[in-house]
Structure 1
Amino acid sequence: MTEHLRERVVAYADLLTDDIGQIQQLLAQVRELAESQEPARVHMLAERLTAVHLDTDWVLVPRQYSPADWYMLAMDRFMSFAGIPAYDILTPAEREELTLVPTELEVPATFEFVVNDDPNGGAFFVELGTNERLFYWSLERKQILFNADAITNLLVENYRKKTTAPRIRTVTTLLTEFGRYMEREFGYKVDYNILETKDDFLYPLVQTEMPAGMLDRLFVLSADSNYFLQNIPNGAGLVLEQGVEVRIFYANDATAIGAQRWHFQVIDGHDAVSWLDILLDYDFIGAWYLKERHYLAVESDELVFGLQGNRALKNYGASAPVKSEAPQVEVLQPNTTDEEPEA
């Protein structure tokens, strides 16, 4: 064998060995991601795999999972650790791809992750039929941000016409419990916005103009229900089933549109009911909000999701969860008069 030939064959063997080594290293991480029972290890491996791209020239792997699939596999592992039910992960035979399907919704719905292309990285959890981005997830920054607009579009405006609130709530429970687990286990920063259930939470709102007549319109919609909209300081409130109280009110604020910064608040005494629950359980409130949200809507992170629909103005200063003092009022009681609340 000539020296030239020997060098060529050895170089070829070295190139194959290098590529095989990369593949074996990737396979070891994939296997551990699928089998490890240590949440911290799973998180670290997911962070690595979503950032890696197998780029081999001599040994090719024609069928590979994508970074978006590693997000889905990691989510499945974490939800398994948390004991979250009511979903399945589909794995088509003809390609490597992971899709989440709610099993109790009884409405066609499939979810995948879509990797965010900008320098912030992360990925969006997307319903494929509507392209609604329900939340953003950054493994690197330990951050989950829910998208109130997309959640309302999909679960209230779309699914509520097709199925029951309890079935839709299997999806909201999945989303909320996933966020709670990541918050509890890894110290994540989670923006629940429309999914938040704490009684003292004042939902930050995007406000594009003064909501003139807003409460009057809610009064009209509630007229055929068994619930009575009543005055509270700077707004109105309702007492619903099981003593759940809904308040819609403003605080005087010179920096807000019309010098009024509006809030929603849901109080049930157990930190268990969200604004989204109210929209799903009470059709007249859901119908009212779907119309009024063009002017006043629960806010999501604008930097991640962009401006909400066609609402171009922002209620400045309300981007962080607000815990300013709510009006001190007695628990509302049914009103026996027909007096309408002032907007």
Structure 2
Amino acid sequence: MSNESLNPSSLTTNGRLVAYSESLKAGIQHGIEFTKLFDQLTDTKDAGELLAASTALFDFQMDTDYVVYPHKYDANDYYLIFMSRLLELHNNKDAVLHSREDNLKADTLFQTFPNIDDSEEFHFEQRENQDGAFYVEQNSHQVIFSLNLKEKAMYFNSDTITKLFITEWSGKSDNEAVTNAVDLFIQFGKYLVADFGFSVDFNMLDASNSKKYVLANSELSEQIMDKLFVATADNNLMLQNMDTVQGAFLDLGNQIIFSLYKEINADGSGHWVITVQDPEEKYSLFEIFNQFAFLKKWFLDNLDELQIGSKMS
């Protein structure tokens, strides 16, 4: 089409008809490009192709000035399909993807987990002025983790780990069901690292011995250690003071060591941290609370002071 035809006011009647036809064809072709990416997202067996399609679809604008598609998925849904497909590629099928009919757009997508309360549904949401998407429990909108496919980054939210996994779910479901659901989130993060080189902060779900769970509060009251001492003594364990730093540690058996101490920065400022160490690096802080009820109770009873720091509001 000539440059003159780009200005509608300069077109003849026939030129306008031709321009209209060309615009329709372009809009339809744009839709075909979408279907190619969507087919790749839903059918590919290659992890790299899966990530490429998901990333492209998240930013894909289907509608053009001349062709509008009334039924389409939200950008967030492509993240959810990506998550389900990546788990599927690794033969992990514990998360179930559901579709609910929606007359206003393409069907609404969400996930559930076996043996977790049926009212618990999960999907991705976008947040204003924040990149990527946030995996949330739909009723409470609590963020479990943030995910950015373009930046290859994932971050677990300590607030939700505490409120949803440690508190609410433990009252609704058996420990094994909760552990299995949390393990699935952990495995998803590990797949992102192994398959694509993502940067993943597992937060309270990190079982590596080098992990330091930094408390949101820089100072703790003296009563915190006193309460921990009483809790451990009531369970026939002995809380022991550390020699070189302000803090204490607890031998939970099987070479599992739980520690709470103040770490001093180079500038003289300090912050309190919890660490968990075990020979096989199987125990995250979440797992410690899951296995040792008295520590979980001590943590929740003093949550105002002991909340683990989070990058999310």
Q: Scaled by the length of structure 1, what TM-score is found?
A: 0.80
State the one-letter code of the partner of 1:26.
F
Equivalence for 1:309: none
| Distance (whole Å) between structure 2 residues aligned to residue 134 and residue 115 of structure 1 | 13
| Distance (whole Å) between structure 1 residues aligned to residue 302 and residue 210 of structure 2 | 23
Equivalence for 1:148: 158
Equivalence for 1:247: 259
Equivalence for 2:197: 187
How has the CA–CA distance of structure 1 residues 251 and 4 changed in structure 2, closer, same or farther, with 3 Å as cutoff? closer
How has the CA–CA distance of structure 1 residues 104 and 226 changed in structure 2, closer, same or farther, with 3 Å as cutoff? farther
Equivalence for 1:315: none
Q: Which runs of 5+ in 1 are unaligned?
A: 307-343
Whether contact under 8 Å (1:99, 1:110) holds in the other structure is: yes
Q: Which runs of 5+ in 2 are unaligned?
A: 1-10
Map Cα deviations across residues 83-113 of structure 1 (whole Å, 9 max, x no partner): 3332100111334222011113246311110
Equivalence for 1:261: 271
Give 2:101's match in structure 1, choosing from 89, 93, 113.
Answer: 93
Equivalence for 2:213: 203
Whether contact under 8 Å (1:193, 1:204) holds in the other structure is: no
Give the superposition deviation at 1:253. Answer: 4.5
Give the superposition deviation at 1:54. Answer: 1.3
| Distance (whole Å) between structure 2 residues aligned to residue 114 and residue 284 of structure 1 | 35
Whether contact under 8 Å (1:249, 1:264) holds in the other structure is: yes
Give 1:282's match in structure 2, choosing from 284, 289, 292.
Answer: 292
State the one-letter code of the partner of 1:80.
E
Whether contact under 8 Å (1:106, 1:167) holds in the other structure is: no
State the one-letter code of the partner of 1:33.
L
| Distance (whole Å) between structure 2 residues aligned to residue 191 and residue 289 of structure 1 | 21
Whether contact under 8 Å (1:229, 1:238) holds in the other structure is: yes
SS in 1 for 2:307: strand
Answer 1 or 2: higher relative contact order, Cα 8 Å, separation at least 6. 1
Give 2:91's match in structure 1, choosing from 59, 62, 83.
Answer: 83
How has the CA–CA distance of structure 1 residues 107 and 166 changed in structure 2, closer, same or farther, with 3 Å as cutoff? farther
Give 2:306's match in structure 1, choosing from 296, 311, 314.
Answer: 296
| Distance (whole Å) between structure 2 residues aligned to residue 85 and residue 226 of structure 1 | 41
State the one-letter code of the partner of 1:14.
E
1:70 corresponds to 2:50 = no
Equivalence for 1:335: none
Give the superposition deviation at 1:254. Answer: 7.5
1:130 corresponds to 2:140 = yes
Give the superposition deviation at 1:8. Answer: 4.2
Whether contact under 8 Å (2:154, 2:201) holds in the other structure is: yes
Equivalence for 1:53: 61
Whether contact under 8 Å (2:258, 2:275) holds in the other structure is: yes
Q: How many residues align?
A: 298
How has the CA–CA distance of structure 1 residues 267 and 121 changed in structure 2, closer, same or farther, with 3 Å as cutoff? same
Range that drifts further, 203-212 or 143-152: 203-212
Give 2:249's match in structure 1, choosing from 237, 246, 251.
Answer: 237
Q: What does residue range 305-316 of structure 1 map to in structure 2 within 5 Å?
A: 305-306=312-313
Equivalence for 1:15: 23
| Distance (whole Å) between structure 2 residues aligned to residue 249 and residue 210 of structure 1 | 10
RMSD: 2.2
Equivalence for 2:120: 109
State the one-letter code of the partner of 1:100.
Q
Give the superposition deviation at 1:9. Answer: 3.5
Give 2:33's match in structure 1, choosing from 16, 25, 31.
Answer: 25
Map Cα deviations across residues 249-269 of structure 1 (whole Å, 9 max, x no partner): 22345757xx55322111221
SS in 2 for 1:294: helix
Give the superposition deviation at 1:225. Answer: 2.6
Q: Percent identity?
A: 25
